[in-house]
Amino acid sequence: MKKTETEKMFGKFLCSDDVLKKYMDRKTFAKYLKTKETEGELDALVARKIAKAMKTWACENGATHYSHWFSPLTGKTAEKQVSFIEVDKNGKLVEDFSEKSLIKGEADASSFPNGGERVTFEARGYTVWDYTSPAFIKEDKAGNRTLYIPTAFCSYNGTALDEKTPLLRAIESLNRESLRVLKGLGYDDVKKVVCNVGAEQEYFLIKKKDFDKRSDLKVLGRTLVGAKPIKSQEINSHYFGVIDDGINSFMHDVDKELWKMGVMAKIQHNEVAPAQHELVPIFCPANIASDQNQVIMEVIKNVAKRHGFEALFHEKPFANMNGSGKHINWSLSTDTGVNLIDSNIKDRRLFLLFFTSMIAGIDRYYKVVRASTAHRGNDLRLGGNEAPPTLVSMFVGENIEKILDSADMKVKNKTKYLETRVASLPKMKKDYCDRNRTSPFAYTGNKFEFRMVGSSQSIAWPSTCICTIVAKVLKEIADKLDKADNVMEAADKIVKENISNHRRIVFNGNGYDKEWAEEAAKRGLVEYKSCFDCLSVLDDKDVLDLFEETNVLDRGEVCLRKSTFAKAYAETVKIESLTMLELLHKDIYPSLYKFVGDLSNSIKLDADGKNGARSDMKEKILGALDKLYAKGEKLKSNLNVLDGEEDLLKKALFAKDNLAVELEEVRKIYDDIEAILPNYLEPFPTYNDILF
């Protein structure tokens, strides 16, 4: 059958195993596949032939450079491009790519976020090829092509300085412990268990000409001030609405770029807020999904510019309307094709053992779940406008709840049909449970949807935390099954204990209700409202033990992340404060001075003296100017205090309790004034200009 244009395009720039197979002899390729299967160390000869195959394919597709591509603790990616050119023994230029170049690269580890683990005189760090995630070619708008090789990044002594290394460790731990449990239950045919992830990516798309006129958007990716527009999302007309031709053209170009690199972009639509959109890919293994999500964000950003737009991934670019999240859909499957958390699988014991292990893990380590989503942008998003609350709970649906309440493992899903009461519409099976958009961790029938993750975050850290939590619980279960005289009875007992001991984390109602917060407190659940609140949990002994016992992070690597997150929070609030001062001095003050001057001149020219409204307006503007000036001076003063604080946790706390609070106070003062400013005096594009 003739291939479609999409089929011809898909994977054109992806160095998949099928591609490598064409450039390698059968014996070496078989060795490579065997190594991948067992997740062992690559033989030097195999690595040499893979490097040659990869380079030949890349050059045939127009690549002139390669890059070790990695994810430092910035939430973004990093790269160093190197050309393929070498000099042979005769001094002639040749194109070459050795196994050493493929496997190992160098980067200055002291210049990336490292929590103080590296200093300038201890600079060396390594990028190490991750053969579990395929290499790909990226093409820029000028047509230049570079081979990107996914790598891990660690310091000279092996400390993980990136997002990928802990994720790979967590995936290995989860696979190992899952196999132990499955073997205990008699599933000896299963050789591998894979954590599959699908990350829904929300973002805003605005006109670049408006973006360029606002320093807050250029520096921060969000607006620090802005009055609520006349029309926002009140009538829900944007959600799934007709996609504008210009946006549609952009979306299709994004899809094509992603398809070339083997990213299975599947769904695109308008989201709830004006100018907000979403892209959804097909599920794939967690490590690859993490890499692909970074690619998705980079492609959206680059293609947007080509179309005269700017893409915003900040969690709350505009106040008083929906922010953007990144919903991680998470499932666990065997290499024999069984989804272990699908409620419809025949072996109820198997399903309930893994399912209640999820409940037990989230309940025991919900503070880690919350901490995995903690950063400044999410502080502004979580808790309102369809974002889940900061209080962690699990939605499981009515049918699963019946099982939990009755501890009856024989309860099965009943087939239900959608009743439309229209004879011409086809009879359709309903999903057995609804969706709860207020639940941070919701079960949807065959997967969990983790809705707390921020849109600008890498999904690697949240995915690492979930995999680690589940691996820890499964390890304990496997230990019990190993010692049991009757494995099946032991498994049933574990299920009932999981339900009895961890039922408190399950809540199927409205997560926004104050009554739920009160009930959760009675259940002993603690709400970690801000990023700073979450930092302290990384010091807890049970959290340190969790990461260490699963071989995901040692104590030093956990502390490294804590200090890195604290610094990132404080520095972000500092940059926001400096940007606000620039807005005040360069844009807002001049505009308000001009307004006062125009009002004063108008009052002087008023012959009959009836100028009460203008006088009142003038006094209102002068009063706002005084307040803004006082707040601006306070911001300056507190920035000096922040700069003088060396303890990172104290720095973050001061930023939260002082600068962040003052920023919101300045916003309120200005937003009230912006609503009455004449159009000709607006210092920068308003929400009405940007969003409509």
Residue-level pLDDT at 581: 98
Place of tokens 């380079």: 55
Rounded Cα distance between 31 and 33, Å, is 6
Residue 255 shares a structural domain with residue 340: yes
Name the pLDDT band for 110 (thresholds 50, 70, 90): confident
pLDDT (average), residues 593-617? 80
**Tens of pLDDT, residues 64-77:** 999 999 999 998 99
Q: Report the pLDDT value the prediction gives residue 36, as an integer from 0 to 100.
A: 86
From the number of C-beta atoms within 10 Å of its C-beta (0-12, 13-18, 19+), residue 257 rates as buried
Residue 560 lies in a domain: no
**561 in a structural domain:** no
pLDDT at residue 608 greater than cutoff 70: no
As a whole number of angstroms, the distance between CA 215 and CA 375 comes to 22
CATH code of the domain containing 61:
3.10.20.70
Evaluated on CA atoms 402, 403, 406, 411, the torsion sign reads positive
310 falls within a domain: yes
Give the pLDDT score at 607. Answer: 59
Residues contacting 185, CB < 8 A, separation 6+: 349, 350, 353, 481, 487, 488, 491
Cβ atoms 589, 625 nearer than 8 A: yes
pLDDT of residue 508: 92
pLDDT of residue 385: 67
pLDDT digits (tens, 9 = 90+) for 394-418: 999 888 888 777 756 666 667 778 8
Q: What pLDDT does residue 121 have?
A: 74
- β-pairing, 145-155 vs 284-285, is unpaired
Give yes or no: residues 472 and 611 share one domain. no
| Nearest alpha carbon to residue 453 among 468, 463, 444, 442 | 463
Nearest 10 degrees: CA dihedral of 349, 351, 357, 363? -120
140 and 175 in a common domain? no
Per-residue confidence (pLDDT) for residue 667, from 0 to 100 = 97
* CATH number, domain containing residue 413: 3.30.590.10
- My answer on whether 158 and 174 are in the same domain is no
Residues 157, 174: one domain?
no
Taking only the tens place, the pLDDT of each residue in 246-283 is 999 999 999 999 999 999 999 999 998 999 999 999 99
Same domain, 484 and 605: no
Using DSSP, how many helices (H) and how many strands (E) does the chain show?
Answer: 25, 18
Confidence grade of residue 504 (pLDDT, cut at 50, 70, 90): very high
* Residue 432, pLDDT score: 65
pLDDT for res 410: 66
Residue pair 375/76 in contact (Cβ under 8 Å)? The answer is: no
Confidence band of 615 (pLDDT split at 50, 70, 90): confident
Model confidence band, residue 438 (pLDDT cutoffs 50, 70, 90)? confident
Tokens 């590296």 locate to: 118
CA 469, distance to chain mean position in Å, is 18
pLDDT at 233: 74
* pLDDT for res 239: 81
Is there a single domain that holds both residue 270 and residue 370?
yes
Q: Is there a single domain that holds both residue 152 and residue 174?
A: no
543 and 613 together in one domain? no
Residue 454 inside a domain? The answer is: yes
CB 136 within 8 A of CB 261: yes
Bridge partners, residue 356, by sequence: none
What count of residues does the chain have? 692
Cα gap 666→629, rounded to integer Å: 9
Count how many Cα atoms sit within 13 Å of the Cα of residue 565 in the half-sphere of its side chain: 26
Judged against a pLDDT cut of 80, whether residue 100 lies above it is answered with yes
Q: Which of 373-382, 417-426, 494-503, 620-629 has the lowest mean pLDDT?
A: 417-426
pLDDT tens track for 8-51: 999 999 999 999 999 999 999 999 999 888 878 888 899 999 99
Most confident of the following: 108-112, 206-210, 594-598? 206-210
Instruction: State whether 618 and 522 are in the same domain.
Output: no
Which pLDDT score, from 0 to 100, does residue 646 have?
Answer: 93
Domain annotation covers residue 370: yes
Residue by residue, DSSP assigns 519-582 as HHHHTTPPP--SHHHHHGGGGSHHHHHHHHHTTS--HHHHHHHHHHHHHHHHHHHHHHHHHHHH
Average pLDDT over residues 683-688: 95
What pLDDT score does 613 carry? 77
Minimum mean pLDDT among 296-300, 424-428, 652-656: which range?
424-428
Number of domains in the chain: 3
Residue that is last in its domain, among 162, 183, 199: 162
644 against 37, higher pLDDT? 644
Residue carrying the six token digits 């078989």: 30
* pLDDT category of residue 526 using cuts at 50, 70 and 90: very high
Give the largest Cα separation in the chain, rounded.
102
Confidence of residue 92 (pLDDT cuts 50, 70, 90): confident
The helix (H) or strand (E) run that includes residue 477 is helix 460-483
State whether 243 and 306 are in the same domain.
yes
Residue 276, beta-bridge partner list:
204
Tell me the CA distances in angstroms from 82 to 68, 79, 135, 571, one per residue in order.
9, 10, 15, 32
Question: What is the domain extent for residue 84?
Answer: 5-162
**Average pLDDT score over residue span 324-346:** 94
Q: Among residues 193, 152, 198, 197, which one has the least CA distance to residue 174?
A: 193
What tens digit of pLDDT does each residue of 221-247 get?
999 999 998 887 777 778 888 899 999
Q: Is residue 455 part of a domain?
A: yes
The full 3-state SS of 300-366, as one line of letters, equals HHHHHHHCCEEEECCCCCCCCCCCCEEEEEEEEEECCCCECCCCCCCCHHHHHHHHHHHHHHHHHCH
Q: Please check whether residue 598 lies inside any domain of the structure.
A: yes
- Is residue 594 over pLDDT 90? yes
Task: Say what the pLDDT of residue 421 is.
Answer: 85
pLDDT of 297 > 90? The answer is yes
| Cα separation, 237 vs 22, whole angstroms | 50
- Round to whole Å and give the CA distance between 453 and 369: 10
Of the listed ranges 38-52, 189-203, 528-542, the one predicted with least confidence? 38-52
Distance from C-alpha of 99 to C-alpha of 73, rounded to nearest angstrom: 27
**Final residue of a domain: which of 162, 178, 210?**
162
Write down the mean pLDDT value for the chain.
92
**Mean pLDDT, residues 430-446:** 82
Q: What is the mean pLDDT of residues 295-308?
A: 97
Q: Is residue 562 part of a domain?
A: no
End residue of a domain, out of 137, 162, 187:
162
Mean predicted confidence (pLDDT) in 534-563 = 95
Half-sphere exposure in the Cβ direction for 298 (13 Å, CA)? 22
Closest CA to 224 of 465, 580, 625, 624: 580
Q: Are residues 216 and 326 in the same domain?
A: yes
